């Protein structure tokens, strides 16, 4: 088992919970696939619930956490054909995962983030008492960023529902820009964070890709087919990354 997301713990102060109650949500039951049905190093999990029970809200909290970490990773890097990244305020949650037997945890504390993996402890954003013994990586070089992202995972999210991930639904969320010095500054004008997670070319510094590509909520299958071919060609060159589909 090379990679799994183990759980997400959501705190009562966390925004965007909607109907999701505070608490710890576990994704892995640890039942071994003795027959090898899914193939080597493949783990399948499912979130099951009634309509309106918060399944999408739970996933979107994870998306916001990954977006916020990625927003620090792209500082100082050009991202051709990609929308600008924004940091989403108000997230208070812990995302636990495991890679090759080593446990990691991504912690969101509103304007601060912490990442633990093996013996590594790093933080980003504003000073936070909880992260006083963490290495501040709000502004670091690309070599260090690459090492940090090797301890995380890349997510490919596919949702062809016409109502999903429409930019208009996220326009009222408070976001911040991140300066070249790694400082968070609140954006007064509209900044829609989810737009930056669609098709882009940034060397996989952004740890998530949303599919299909949407232009103001519209899906063009001709464009999607072309982007899929480009994505497939780039994926051939990837030698070390852990994927969540």
Model pLDDT, residue 231 = 63
Strand order in the sheet with 175-178: 87-88, 175-178, 184-186
Name 4's Cβ contacts closer than 8 Å, sequence gap at least 6.
Answer: 27, 28, 43, 45, 97, 98
Phi (first) and psi of residue 235, to 5 degrees: -65, -25
Model pLDDT, residue 245 = 45
The residue count for the chain: 245
Q: Which residue ranges in the chain fall short of pLDDT 70?
A: 1, 29-34, 199-203, 230-245
Q: In total, how many domains does the chain have?
A: 1
**Residue tagged 């990954």 (tokens):** 66
Host domain of residue 76: 3-244
Name 32's Cβ contacts closer than 8 Å, sequence gap at least 6.
Answer: none
pTM: 0.88
d(CA 27, CA 38): 17
The secondary structure of residue 195, as a DSSP letter, is G
């Amino acid at each position: 088992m090379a990679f799994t997301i183990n759980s997400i713990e959501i705190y009562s102060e966390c925004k965007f919970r909607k109907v999701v109650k505070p608490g710890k949500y576990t994704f892995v039951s640890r039942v071994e696939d003795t027959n090898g049905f899914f193939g080597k190093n493949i783990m399948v999990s499912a979130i099951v619930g009634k309509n309106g029970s918060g399944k999408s809200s739970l996933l979107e909290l994870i998306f916001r956490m990954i977006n916020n970490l990625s927003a620090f990773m792209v500082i100082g890097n050009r991202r051709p054909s990609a929308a600008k990244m924004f940091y989403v305020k108000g997230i208070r949650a812990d995302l636990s995962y495991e890679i090759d037997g080593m446990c990691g945890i991504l912690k969101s504390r509103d304007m601060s983030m912490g990442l633990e993996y093996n013996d590594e402890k790093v933080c980003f954003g504003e000073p936070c008492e909880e992260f006083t013994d963490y290495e501040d990586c709000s502004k670091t070089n690309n070599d260090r960023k690459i090492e940090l992202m090797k301890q995380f995972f890349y997510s490919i999210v596919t949702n062809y529902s016409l109502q999903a991930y429409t930019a208009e639904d996220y326009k009222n969320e408070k976001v911040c820009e991140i300066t070249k010095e790694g400082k968070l500054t609140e954006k007064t004008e509209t900044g829609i964070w989810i737009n930056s997670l669609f098709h882009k070319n940034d060397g996989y510094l952004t740890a998530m890709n949303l599919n299909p590509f949407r232009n103001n909520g519209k899906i063009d299958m001709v464009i999607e087919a072309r982007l899929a071919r480009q994505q497939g060609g780039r994926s051939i060159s990837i030698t070390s990354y852990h994927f969540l589909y």
